[in-house]
Amino acid sequence: MTRRIDETHAHRHPLAMQILILENDPISPAGTIGERIAAAGGRMDRRLALHGDALPDSDRGYDAAVILGGVMSANDDDKFASLAPMRDLLRGFHSADKPLLGICLGAQILARCFGKTVRKHGELEFGYVPLTTTEAGQRDALLHGLDQPEIMQFHEDTFDVPDEGERLLASANCANQAFRVGRATYAFQCHFEATPAIVDKWLSICEPALRRHVGDRAPSLMSAARADNQQKAAAQRRFAETVTDRWLGLIAR
């Protein structure tokens, strides 16, 4: 496959940011994160590396990278040959102090980059879930001053926070919802990037998977998520826009 570069608004910014987007699953696009990158004049190089696109050789030519979600496991090295090279690539970004932003599977991949375990969570976490900001999160460059959010979740795995990292967010059923390592490497288990249209798409195709996890509770979970998608999406968008804009502000110009 050929690489896809979105040059939206880039003509207005001769020194536009070059952002690598690792889109691990076509049903999990960049959503609000991509919108904010475009609004800031960024150029996005989208790679579906787990579906055939080649990874870049290194971080050269990029200012930052976003690693998105997917239905696969961060431990599926035997199924996806690109996972190990992806971790090497992301370690290069981190070593070069170039901002990283991992979402769901992307967060789990980042945890593995720092030698931590990704494992089954014990239960599926699905729908708009209230999150608590830790003391470290309240001081964090991305999260300080923000209301405690309710953010869309869709995951069955969880991760351990890297030894050198700080835990930033938690939920009642999943202690590790976000971490930061160093100045600008961030991992979020939650799907704050998901727009109402993305969530609607997930709801249109996810019932079989939900039934495998929760049986007859699946219809009620989906009904609640549909209602919340109308009522809570605006607050999630405000959170997503603020966090993404602050993250973009960490890119060295």
Which tokens sit at 240?
Answer: 């997503």
pLDDT in tens, 216-241: 888 888 888 889 888 999 999 999 99
| Cα 235 to Cα 241: distance, rounded to the nearest angstrom | 10
CATH of domain 4-118+132-143+156-194+237-248: 3.40.50.880
- Quote the pLDDT of residue 3: 44
Task: Confirm whether pTM is higher than 0.85.
Answer: yes
Q: What is the pLDDT of residues 60-85, one digit of tens each?
A: 999 999 999 988 999 999 999 999 99
**In this predicted model, what pLDDT tens digit does every residue of 39-49 receive, in sequence order?**
999 999 999 98
Q: Give every CB contact of residue 127 below 8 A, 6+ residues apart in sequence.
A: 152, 153, 221, 224, 225, 228
Grade residue 1 by pLDDT with cuts at 50, 70 and 90: very low
What is the chain's alpha carbon radius of gyration, rounded to the nearest angstrom? 17
SS3 content of the chain, % helix, strand, coil (to 5): 35, 25, 40
Contact 99, 251 (CB under 8 A): yes
Mean pLDDT, residues 134-150 taken together: 95
3-state secondary structure of 252: coil
Block residue for tokens 């992307």: 106
Ordered by start, the domain boundaries in the chain are: 4-118+132-143+156-194+237-248
Both tokens of residue 56?
A: 């870049």
